[in-house]
Structure 1
Amino acid sequence: MTETTGSTGTQALVDRHRLADVPLASPSAHQGLLEVFRRRYVLRLLVKREVQGRYEGSFLGFLWSYINPLSQFFIYWFFMGKILGASHGFENYPVHMFAGLIIVHFFTETFGAGTRSLVGNKGLIAKMSVPREMFPVATMLVSLWHVAPQILILIGVGIMEGWQPDMVGMMCAVVAVLIAMILGTALALLFSTANVFFRDFGSFVGIINNYVRFAVPMLYPFSLVRDNLPTWVTHLYLCDPVAIACLLFQRAFWVGTTADPTRSAAETLPDHLGLWTLGNLIAAVLILVVAQRVFQKFENKVPERL
């Protein structure tokens, strides 16, 4: 056990030295998200460093990737499903809720950790000549890495409930993760820059993430929104990319567990889901483009403010 811990510590020290030994150059020569992925070696080191840092000194280690989402699942299921009665008359409510929870957790982790990424890595920013977008991107990839065990849990529960996967559903799952990935990275770029100048933005992001959990059809079905709110409010609701991503993930993993998937999709999913998906995907990409431009405008001021 001691030998294993020592080797892990040695490897982490070697990785830090590799990061520190990246040759210095003008930061302006390495701007842009494309340059981030051209430097995949450094990006892998940052992701590995972040993952190891999360579990350093932990007895359970990677098992926390399963424990944390499962604990959230049971809390929401018990209080919302059982005590408040959200699951009454709703088929396979736990699967519906957990499908939305995975997307929400991925987005909020990307957004929150990405916002803190520049401040949290100020030592590396001062030493390394890499595109500074790399730090929010690395936190997004770490969050994406933790999505895998959550999906495995969801698939296992779905299979026990008679899940019937289909090609359209799998495409919906991929697009859902893509939307959350793009939007989370875009907002992380914007707010990480703002957080360098005003630390209040880190706390503000926490408030936004608390709102997100109730502003998407995770704890309740979309049909409640459609049936109880005016049409224009429903359309405004569907302009939220995270809400669409939740609906897509539920289409992929929840609809197939119901007794009549066609009827479940018609009753709990919005009309023209494909068009709403396309519109929100385009919107997420445009937000990412704007976020990249804003980040580039202020990134040269980041080191002096840190």
Structure 2
Amino acid sequence: MTGAPAGARPRAGEDGFEIPGRGRGLLDVLQRRYLLRLLVRKELRVRYQGSALGLLWSYVKPAVQFCVFFFALGVFLKVGQDVENFAVYLFAGIVVINYFSETFGNATRAVVGNAPLVKKIYLPRELFPVASAWVAAVHFLPQFVVLLIGTLIAGWRPTLGQLAGGALGFAIIVVLAVGLGLLFGAINVLYRDFENIVDLLLLVVTWTSPVLYTWVHVRDAIRRAELPDWLLTVYQLNPVTSAVELFHYGFWYGATTKPYELPPNLLWNGLLSLGIAVAVLVLGQFTFRRLEGRFAQEL
């Protein structure tokens, strides 16, 4: 080696090789985009192998979900009777929650589900949760197209600020879902109970986010119960809540003909929620890197 004293032992990395099992986390995923594409293709191929509908399930499942919620809540319980274009409002929330649920749930199972690869070769383990986010994005895209068509039919005329709000909402949900996927995916290798815990969390998130109702219902319920007003602030600082509200602002509010009361400090809460999501991503990456050395042994 040039530059090294005779007989000196080269330090790690000086010989041009990397120490196996050590990497730079998510930065390695950016450098190995080809592997990421292969994993995404593999996940899609395995998921729809032998399926007659294939990617059409990206339309069928949210359509059934939408119909159940719309008729159960909007028609029978009349939850959306005061909400103009309630169908657009409902579907805008559904596509966000579906992306979050699919990314978080599949990322939690990603390392365990790819156990043969983890045990046989070294590659950045973060590729598996990130691939789950990309697979979810493939399913999100057709749902988003349907949402755009519906909101255009409803008379959608967005402002630049509303479009920025929708983009911010999606950024929050992506960062949060990947961060939680890294965190729970790493712990799930050691304790498989976390798969069931995540399923319960996703059920809670669906019903506690303003997808099936508006934030006004939450405010009025807090006031009727004479609870402190700061509970509403805590509710709105939930990153999932902020993401859903921003998506409503971006893709529903511009299709309304009468003014609606927006959540207070919507943009500010969105930025704070993005900060919380980034903190979760950092925590998830830290936990993942601390535990990944045990993955092959535990699997």
Same fold flag (TM > 0.5): yes
Whole-angstrom distance in 2 between the partners of 1:169 and 1:27: 47
Aligned partner of residue 75 in structure 2, secondary structure: helix
Could you tell me which residue of structure 2 aligns to residue 233 of structure 1? 231
CA distance in structure 1 between the aligned counterparts of 2:107 and 2:199, rounded to whole angstroms: 12
Q: 1:231 is matched by which residue type in structure 2?
A: D
Matched, 1:244 2:242: yes
Measure the CA separation in 1 of the matches of 2:200 and 2:287: 23
Does 2:125 match 1:125? no
SS of residue paired to 1:270: coil
- Where does residue 167 of structure 1 map in the other structure? 160
Residue 64 in structure 1 maps to residue 64 in structure 2: no
How far is the alpha carbon of 1:26 from its aligned partner? 4.2
Q: Secondary structure at the match of 1:28?
A: coil
Q: Rg larger in 1 or in 2?
A: 2
Q: Does 1:256 align with 2:254?
A: yes
| 1:87 aligned onto 2:85 | no
Number of the residue aligned with 1:142: 135
**C-alpha separation between the residues in 2 aligned to 1:303 and 1:128?**
10
- Range moving further from structure 2, 179-188 or 165-174: 165-174
Partner of 1:10: none
1:254-287 deviations in whole A, cap 9, x for unaligned? 1111113xx22xx1x2121111011110111011
User: Is the CA contact 1:27–1:131 (under 8 Å) kept in the aligned structure 2?
Assistant: no
Q: Which residue of the partner structure matches residue 76 of structure 1?
A: 69
- Output the CA distance in 1 between the equivalents of 2:209 and 2:160: 24
Aligned residues between the structures? 278
Greater fraction of residues in helix: 1
2:38 pairs with 1:45: yes
- The match for 1:214 is 207
The SS at the match of 2:133 is helix
Percent identity between matched residues is 39
Q: Is there any run of 5+ residues in structure 2 with no aligned partner, and where? A: 1-16, 223-227
- Tell me, yes or no, if the aligned pair for 2:236 and 2:269 is still in contact at 8 Å: yes
Structure 1 residues 1-12: aligned runs within 5 Å: none
**Which residue of the other structure, out of 32, 35, 51, is the alignment partner of 2:28?**
35
Gaps of 5+ in 1: 1-23
Q: Residues of 2 paired with 1:34 and 1:176: CA distance? A: 24
Greater shift in the superposed pair: 243-252 or 172-181:
172-181
- Asked if the contact 1:25/1:129 (under 8 Å) is kept, the reply is no
Are the equivalent residues in 2 in contact too, given 1:102–1:151 (CA < 8 A)? yes
Deviation at 1:193, TM superposition (A): 1.1
Secondary structure, counterpart of 1:259 in structure 2:
coil
2:248 counterpart letter in structure 1 = Q
Of stretches 31-40 and 205-214 in structure 1, the one that deviates more from structure 2 is: 31-40
Distance 1:256 1:211 in 2: 29
> For the residues of structure 1 that align with 2:284 and 2:20, how far apart are their CA atoms?
18
Q: How big is the shift at 1:231?
A: 1.2
Once the two structures are superposed, residues 208-255 of structure 1 have per-residue CA deviations (whole angstroms, 9 ceiling, x without a partner) of 000001111000011111233141110110121000000000001111
Alpha-carbon distance between aligned partners in 1 of 2:59 and 2:33, rounded to the nearest angstrom: 27
Partner of 1:191: 184
User: 235-244 or 80-89: which moved more?
Assistant: 80-89
Structure-to-structure mapping, 1:254-293, within 5 angstroms: 254-260=252-258, 263-264=259-260, 267=261, 269-293=262-286
Query: TM-score with structure 1 length normalisation?
Result: 0.88
C-alpha RMSD over aligned residues? 1.3
TM-fit CA distance, 1:25: 6.6
Distance 1:234 1:27 in 2: 48
Structure 1 residues 27 and 115: CA distance shift in structure 2, 3 A: farther
Q: Pick one of 102, 106, 111 that aligns with 1:113.
A: 106
Cα pair 1:26 1:129 within 8 Å, conserved: no
Tell me, in whole angstroms, the C-alpha distance in 2 between the residues paired with 1:188 and 1:209: 12
Question: 2:296: which partner in 1?
Answer: 303
Distance in 2 separating the partners of 1:72 and 1:29: 43
Give the conservation status (yes or no) of the 8 Å contact 1:80–1:86: yes
The whole-number CA distance in structure 1 between the counterparts of 2:169 and 2:271 is 11
Q: Can you list the C-alpha shifts for 1:91-142, whole angstroms capped at 9, x where unaligned?
A: 1111111111111111111110000001100011112311111100100111
- State the partner residue of 1:17: none
